[in-house]
Chain A
């Protein structure tokens, strides 16, 4: 059944038991992004710490209202990106974006995307791609703001 290819068990697990959810303090940047199609929204905070290799994602916290795809996507995102240097995290973001735009033809690299490979099926459903991307767009926006704040400091 096609439904199982969209709603992989990994996605349903993250949806039922989201990781790193809730909003935490302190934070360097906070954004709220909305999907105007369905009204789903996510408020997301980013904390960066400095290292020799540039800024590193210290924490991502969020409060998300939305469907299973968007909730699970937020959970997977935090698992993948917390602890990574910002430059590397941006690469993961680009890979995920490419996967979502692949119209079901993408061959995701599990070493880079981890649990996010389960979202490959979503790319076959144009109406759901925005659900999966909502928190990633929010993360990119918040991180860009946090990086700017760090550079200014």
Chain B
């Protein structure tokens, strides 16, 4: 199956927009947030127009319909990532909340002292990597501060791959959890999660995978990856903002103490104490983003029907073309793997003599939307010896013409700032 991109583009109304004085929008910021197809927008409108009610507690027809739609979304997402059981899908706000959920549950276990494998203290270690998004660094720093555990990390090679040379030293019997990104939001690097997970499991550690940048772009099977927990987010995969998913192995979700307390996550409540609902509801306190769950399920349906393998193949071809095109622009340094091998279609780069913010400004003036800064991966930028970068990220609706527009825009930035490549 090949991708009919012209037809796909028609599904995304926003791609018809003109920006900055009548120029067609060239949207190369999908790693930040993706655009939404008509099918998802229609699902949201249909839910609000016809089925809107609160779930699990409304004793009327609309309540039943809304509950069915919400729980149906859970089943669809379980199938989407190959979860063995639907109850292993916990809805969260986003990946950040999914990671924090596990981190705070572990903190609660450590304070309570009765949940062996989730409990941390001095001498225990959490292992992350230097290429993590801040959302997979800061929660673990905070957890280590609360419990006295130690944070350690894998480094990154100059090419932008995970440096696994110190794995024997890093993953030991002291390791309680390994948390790593599946696909880097800056480098595009796809990490060998299975290899790391097997080592972690052999050492008795749990494995959490940040799949924010991989689930939107390639078929992900949580069991094949060897993860214990995996987080992904709706808004980067054609779905609405405000909802994400924590997948966790059932026995772990059952054993793990709750994070947020409130309505709907309980079994019984007394004034002194409470008992909790079984997962996933134990982790879904308060009224959840119901319409957004329906929208996310529609997004998963859209990607499935379009064909995840076809999307992956198309993006890989576009990535290879983009890497080749940008290599030909003098003065451009691409961060991350130079070859399109184990690599997704997010390309961060620097332009010699022009600050990333200024590059993105010139691009924006031409209707080209990219991101500039450290992309919430400050430690990675430090490790690469740079302060910031510009990132162009591609998705199923992008074209080779847009790659050309990007390259021409970079040349324009060089002209505007009087930088003659190679002469400095």
Residues of A within 8 A of B (CB): 1-3, 6-7, 12, 16, 37-41, 65-69, 125, 128, 131
Q: Is the CB of A68 within 8 A of B358?
A: yes
List, in ascending order, chain A residues with CB within 8 A of B356's CB. 38, 67
10 A-B pairs (CB sep. < 8 Å): A2-B20, A3-B365, A37-B373, A38-B373, A38-B374, A66-B357, A66-B387, A67-B358, A69-B357, A128-B357
B372 at the interface (CB under 8 A from A): yes
Residues facing A in B324-383 (CB within 8 A) are 355-358, 361-362, 365, 372-374, 378, 381
Q: Is the CB of A39 within 8 A of B361?
A: no
| CB nearest neighbor in A for B21 | A2
Given contacts A2-B20, A68-B355, A68-B358, contact A39 B378 (CB under 8 A): yes
Q: Is the CB of A2 within 8 A of B365?
A: yes
| Distance of B389 from chain A, by nearest CB (Å) | 10
CA distance A16 to B374 in the complex (A): 24
List, in ascending order, chain B residues with CB within 8 A of A65's CB. 387
List, in ascending order, chain A residues with CB within 8 A of B381's CB. 39
| Distance of A12 from chain B, by nearest CB (Å) | 8
Q: Is the CB of A67 within 8 A of B355?
A: yes
| Distance of A8 from chain B, by nearest CB (Å) | 13
| CB nearest neighbor in B for A71 | B355
Tell which of B357, B365, B387 touches A131, judged by Cβ atoms closer than 8 Å.
B357
Residues facing A in B1-23 (CB within 8 A) are 20-21
| CB nearest neighbor in B for A66 | B355
B48 at the interface (CB under 8 A from A): no
CA distance A128 to B362 in the complex (A): 13
| CB nearest neighbor in A for B382 | A39
Q: Is the CB of B387 within 8 A of A39?
A: yes
| Distance of A2 from chain B, by nearest CB (Å) | 6
B137 at the interface (CB under 8 A from A): no
List, in ascending order, chain B residues with CB within 8 A of A131's CB. 357
Q: Is the CB of B355 within 8 A of A39?
A: no
Q: Is the CB of A38 within 8 A of B357?
A: yes
Q: Is the CB of A38 within 8 A of B362?
A: no
List, in ascending order, chain A residues with CB within 8 A of B373's CB. 37-39
Q: Is the CB of A3 within 8 A of B374?
A: no
List, in ascending order, chain A residues with CB within 8 A of B357's CB. 38, 40, 66-67, 69, 128, 131
List, in ascending order, chain B residues with CB within 8 A of A128's CB. 357, 361
Tell which of B361, B365, B387 touches A40, judged by Cβ atoms closer than 8 Å.
B387
| Distance of B75 from chain A, by nearest CB (Å) | 39
CA distance A65 to B373 in the complex (A): 13
Residues facing A in B61-104 (CB within 8 A) are none
B131 at the interface (CB under 8 A from A): no
| Distance of B419 from chain A, by nearest CB (Å) | 11
Q: Is the CB of B378 within 8 A of A38?
A: no
Tell which of A3, A16, A40, A125 touches B388, judged by Cβ atoms closer than 8 Å.
A40
Knowing that A2-B20, A66-B387, A67-B355 are A-B contacts, what are 4 other residue pairs whose CB atoms are under 8 Å apart, sorted by A's residue number?
A: A2-B21, A38-B372, A65-B387, A68-B417
Q: Which of B358, B378, B417, B418 gathers most chain A CB within 10 Å?
A: B358
CA distance A92 to B282 in the complex (A): 56
| Distance of B23 from chain A, by nearest CB (Å) | 11
Q: Is the CB of A39 within 8 A of B374?
A: yes
CA distance A128 to B21 in the complex (A): 19
| Distance of B409 from chain A, by nearest CB (Å) | 11
Q: Is the CB of B355 within 8 A of A3?
A: no
CA distance A6 to B372 in the complex (A): 17
List, in ascending order, chain B residues with CB within 8 A of A125's CB. 361
Q: Is the CB of A1 within 8 A of B374?
A: no
| Distance of B147 from chain A, by nearest CB (Å) | 27
| Distance of A29 from chain B, by nearest CB (Å) | 24
CA distance A12 to B388 in the complex (A): 20
CA distance A1 to B372 in the complex (A): 22
What 1/0 flags go to B291-318 for Cβ under 8 Å of A? 0000000000000000000000000000
| CB nearest neighbor in B for A7 | B416
List, in ascending order, chain A residues with CB within 8 A of B355's CB. 66-68
| CB nearest neighbor in B for A35 | B373
List, in ascending order, chain B residues with CB within 8 A of A7's CB. 358, 361, 416
| Distance of A141 from chain B, by nearest CB (Å) | 21
| Distance of A50 from chain B, by nearest CB (Å) | 38
List, in ascending order, chain B residues with CB within 8 A of A12's CB. 417
List, in ascending order, chain B residues with CB within 8 A of A41's CB. 387
Q: Is the CB of A38 within 8 A of B416?
A: no
List, in ascending order, chain A residues with CB within 8 A of B416's CB. 3, 7
List, in ascending order, chain A residues with CB within 8 A of B365's CB. 1-3
List, in ascending order, chain A residues with CB within 8 A of B361's CB. 3, 6-7, 125, 128
List, in ascending order, chain B residues with CB within 8 A of A38's CB. 356-357, 372-374, 387-388
